[in-house]
Structure 1
Amino acid sequence: MTRKRFRARALVAALAILPLCAPWAAVRAAPLDPGGDYALGDWAGTRTDLARQGVRFDLGYVGEMAHNLSGGFREDGRLAYADQFHASLSLDLERLAGVNDADFKVTLTNRNGENLTGERLVDPATGGVSSVQEVFGRGNVTRLTQLWFQQGLFGGALEYKLGRIPLSDDFATLESRFQNLYLGSGQPGNQAGAVWYNWPVSQWGGRVKVQDGARRYLQLGVFDQNPENLDPDQALDLYRHGSEGVITPVEVGWVPDKGPGGLPGKYKLGAYYSSAEATDYEDGGTRGRRYGGYFVVQQQVSAPHGDRRGLTLFSQGSWHDPDTAYVARYLSAGASWRGPWQGRPRDELGVGLAYAEIGDAYVDSATAGNPLVAGPGAAGYVPPQSDEWNAELYYGIHMTPWLTLRPNLQYLVHPGANDAVDDAWVVGTTVALTL
């Protein structure tokens, strides 16, 4: 482990164990209690008491293992492991300071690990599309991921949020436990990652939301478009010069507790516009805009026990400006069953399928030089890309309230959207800990 990586892990580890250094925790905490809510214990009740007063600690770990069984660009088997620690402090300012319906939150994340998709599954000449380890990405580094203030006004009818915020916190959100990147939440950021920054990257901005008692809402965000936020060397900086414009997402939605069939659901339709300069693959120049749209639908359709257990269906999709997009179109669908067995009420079974299509203008631009080289395999040759399919089946084993294991099987058709690469089978496991 490099010295830089060691320091990064040590920082997050220190945040995670700091509360345990209190005298009461050292004497009376019960970590690893199989009936407790946290792996590090409740600090002899202090953690719960602090939450009642408005101070909440959220500490967690996610690790994702992936091994290629067959197929892909390089067919020799490889076991890759990527992980993330996060440490959050949330303050209920109404309880602490009398500020009506207001909250403050700060979060640090630390990512480390290896990328099976890039190392084995796709041709380096084209790069990847999705990833079989969604927790990998944006550098092995400690980042400032959240630093925001939020307040509701007029009984919650109007809400605003200001600070350092990942767009995926509030826009195009979906409840998902898949390990494949293209079956998770915040999909516009996975297809348009050059302008839409998902967790763990954040940017300065704000969001305003108006909503009614039926949980229908309209929200609008304005965020600084600054590529410096992607630089791992600047991951803890509050601000760096380099802004290239703004990205403005807008979303209308309905998130009922009792939707069709009297069951909870999510229905969202959104769009985004970026004023940052973008490459125009159609004419080879640049343009000062980039845009796209998306939808999210998620609905529980059965509740045999009258609660959140049962079958939930979902679908989501995105479309991006074909002249500037790498991925022009995306669509996914799937299902999850919470509590599939009578004796395992918190286990979950999930299956999903995702499709992504590379933009024609991008492909034409990337392969324009191919007639000048000897052919496939020659230096400078770029394989043409078309589409990629990702499928996953997982089973989540709820070991304790704070530990879940999710073994999964994934199948990729045309990894890297390259027809010349063999379809790939990947087996994996997600480890999720609430610390």
Structure 2
Amino acid sequence: MRNVGQGCGNESGREWPKRRVAPWLMLGVVAVTGSAHAEEPFSADGKYLFGNWNGTRPALHDAGIDFDFNYVGESATLLDGGYHDSHVTKYADQFTAGAQFDLDRLADIPDAVFQVTLTNRNGHTTNDRMSDPDAIVGGSNVQEVQGRGPVTRITQLWYQQRFFDERLAVKLGRIPFGDDFAVFDNHFQNLALGSNQPGNWGNNIYNWPISQWAAVVRADFAPDWYAQVGAFDINDSNLENDGFDLRTSGSEGTLYPMELGFTPKLNGLPGAYKLGYYYNNVENRAYGPRDADSTNDTSSGLFYVVEQQVTRRGGDAERGLTLFSMGNVNHGDTAGIDRYFAVGAMYEGPFDARPQDDLGVGLAYLHVNDDVNDYVDYYNATPAGSLTPLPNQGHEYDAEFYYSVNLTPYLTVRPNLQYVVDPSAVDDVDDAWVAGTTLQVFF
């Protein structure tokens, strides 16, 4: 791509309009003629279930437009244990439709892109039967795709501009926190082993599919180093089931995350080492031996993500073992979960007969803030609490093993087995065995 200095004063009056019109002329030609390099629908070797639209999709890519249509469905069956100790199966899913526009090709704006993505979520979670319904603080979810209501939302609506040979990037618009911070690419179905963990346990951090008005600035200041900071508007209206409401009124404060990253190749194998901090200035409930109306006007936390590929199989760096770990420490009396830690391993191409498959195993630990139990003890000593006492909460462990059967580049079936110790961090709830399956399709 060209640097920012090009495409301005040095171009002639004739060249400017040609370059702006050419992409749109290409789109018109594509719509009429298609392409000779068509990928048939349902092809075993194709990237997409519906093929490349008779060659139109790659032609659109060349013109500057990329589409993303995919589906993720997750089932979970409670085999044993849990609060109700009953067998139950629940299903949750998400449809995603997105488009990214290369504005250099489309409008002669160098090093600029625009992204728009809609998501639709539906379904229910097995946690409804597995966890203690009276627990103040929720634990993990055995179906990470479930949550935030059955609704269609605008999840991404942002513009990104790069400067200085792409060493500096500025992103503005509707952005989910997890697009940029604490990112971890993985295939686990349990929420506590997925990406963007601060959004699961930190206050006022909204993960996908929720977005916020935000700005993110990233600087790649050395070949293997970057630093980024963000400012995210905090507005609880983002959680409402009107996914097309982009209001700016009603702001409660601002979330300020920052992250330092190191992305080396050790012996030719990729790794990522990320350390971050967040702070927000919104009042949140303060736990402790007092009533539920107590608040604190700040929340903060630290987080890290470490992943490193450590082996290659048969000399192929695309196959091999990757180790990972993640963790969070969240602010004192406003944190429901004040400590989180996860560790695990993933293997790409474990068998020569199935080089496209992958597998993973992980263990996560969640600790409920001791201040939560101080409040529970306070509440249970009241007349209301003596009639309907709340449970004390301690910690929860989540373990998962999965195997991805990548049937084609566009179709994956991923069975998994999960074991949850003390669901919802309540000792009196039986440990639970859960069998899950993820279905992923790229259209």
What is the TM-score of this pair, normalised by structure 2?
0.89
Q: Is the 8 A contact 2:340 2:365 kept in 1?
A: yes
Aligned to 2:236: 227
Q: Which runs of 5+ in 1 are unaligned?
A: 1-21
Aligned to 2:133: 124
Q: Which runs of 5+ in 2 are unaligned?
A: 1-30
Per-residue deviation, residues 406-433 of structure 1 (Å, max 9, x unmatched):
0000000000000000000000100011
Displaced runs of 4+ in structure 1, greater than 4 A? 22-25
Aligned to 2:216: 207
Q: Is the 8 A contact 1:102 1:149 kept in 2?
A: yes
Aligned to 1:404: 412
Q: Which amino acid aligns with 2:326?
A: Q
Give 1:286-297 correspondences, 5 Å limit. Answer: 286-297=295-306
Aligned to 1:12: none
Tell me the SS of whatever aligns to 1:251.
strand
Supply the distance in 1 between the matched residues of 2:349 and 2:148 (Cα, whole angstroms).
34
Aligned to 1:79: 89
1:240 deviation in Å? 4.8
Tell me the SS of whatever aligns to 1:369.
helix
Aligned to 2:429: 421
Per-residue deviation, residues 12-50 of structure 1 (Å, max 9, x unmatched):
xxxxxxxxxx7778xx87322221110121001100110
* 2:73 equivalent to 1:63: yes
1:110 deviation in Å? 0.1
1:123 deviation in Å? 1.0
Q: Which amino acid aligns with 1:52?
A: D
Q: Is the 8 A contact 1:106 1:146 kept in 2?
A: yes
1:379 deviation in Å? 4.0
Structure 1 counterpart of 2:310, from 301, 306, 329: 301
Tell me the matched-pair count. 406
1:35/1:425 CA distance change after superposition, 3 Å: same
Q: Which amino acid aligns with 2:411?
A: L
1:213 deviation in Å? 4.3
Supply the distance in 1 between the matched residues of 2:195 and 2:64 (Cα, whole angstroms).
28
1:24/1:395 CA distance change after superposition, 3 Å: farther
Supply the distance in 2 between the matched residues of 1:315 and 1:157 (Cα, whole angstroms).
28
Q: Which amino acid aligns with 1:92?
A: D
Aligned to 1:92: 102
Supply the distance in 2 between the matched residues of 1:388 and 1:213 (Cα, whole angstroms).
40
Give the CA RMSD over aligned residues. Answer: 1.7
Q: Is the 8 A contact 2:221 2:227 kept in 1?
A: no
Give 1:168-247 correspondences, 5 Å limit. Answer: 168-192=178-202, 194-232=203-241, 234-247=242-255
1:114/1:131 CA distance change after superposition, 3 Å: same
Q: Is the 8 A contact 1:183 1:354 kept in 2?
A: yes
1:171 deviation in Å? 0.2
Q: Which amino acid aligns with 2:211?
A: S
Q: Is the 8 A contact 2:67 2:97 kept in 1?
A: yes
1:212 deviation in Å? 2.9
Q: Is the 8 A contact 2:39 2:46 kept in 1?
A: no
Give 1:356-435 correspondences, 5 Å limit. Answer: 356-372=366-382, 379-435=387-443
1:312/1:95 CA distance change after superposition, 3 Å: same
Supply the distance in 2 between the matched residues of 1:362 and 1:105 (Cα, whole angstroms).
41
Give 1:25-40 correspondences, 5 Å limit. Answer: 30-40=40-50
Tell me the SS of whatever aligns to 1:329.
strand
Tell me the SS of whatever aligns to 1:155.
coil
Tell me the SS of whatever aligns to 1:353.
strand
Give 1:263-342 correspondences, 5 Å limit. Answer: 263-282=269-288, 285-304=294-313, 305-342=315-352
Supply the distance in 1 between the matched residues of 2:275 and 2:322 (Cα, whole angstroms).
19
Percent same amino acid among aligned pairs? 48
Per-residue deviation, residues 41-64 of structure 1 (Å, max 9, x unmatched):
100110011011110000000000
Of structures 1 and 2, the larger Rg is shown by 2
Supply the distance in 1 between the matched residues of 2:377 and 2:102 (Cα, whole angstroms).
54
1:349 deviation in Å? 1.1
Tell me the SS of whatever aligns to 2:350.
coil
Structure 2 counterpart of 1:248, from 234, 256, 259: 256
Per-residue deviation, residues 60-115 of structure 1 (Å, max 9, x unmatched):
00000000000000111111000000000100111111211111000000000011
Supply the distance in 2 between the matched residues of 1:363 and 1:64 (Cα, whole angstroms).
33
1:238 deviation in Å? 1.5
Q: Which amino acid aligns with 2:182?
A: A
Per-residue deviation, residues 306-333 of structure 1 (Å, max 9, x unmatched):
3221000000000001210000000000
Supply the distance in 1 between the matched residues of 2:73 and 2:383 (Cα, whole angstroms).
42
Tell me the SS of whatever aligns to 1:264.
strand
Q: Which amino acid aligns with 1:201?
A: I
Supply the distance in 2 between the matched residues of 1:80 and 1:240 (Cα, whole angstroms).
36
Aligned to 1:45: 55
Supply the distance in 2 between the matched residues of 1:270 and 1:128 (Cα, whole angstroms).
24
Supply the distance in 2 between the matched residues of 1:52 and 1:424 (Cα, whole angstroms).
50
Supply the distance in 2 between the matched residues of 1:200 and 1:393 (Cα, whole angstroms).
25
Supply the distance in 2 between the matched residues of 1:253 and 1:31 (Cα, whole angstroms).
40
Q: Is the 8 A contact 1:104 1:150 kept in 2?
A: yes
Q: Is the 8 A contact 1:352 1:393 kept in 2?
A: yes
1:373 deviation in Å? 5.6
1:255 deviation in Å? 1.9
1:24/1:356 CA distance change after superposition, 3 Å: farther
Q: Is the 8 A contact 1:24 1:43 kept in 2?
A: no
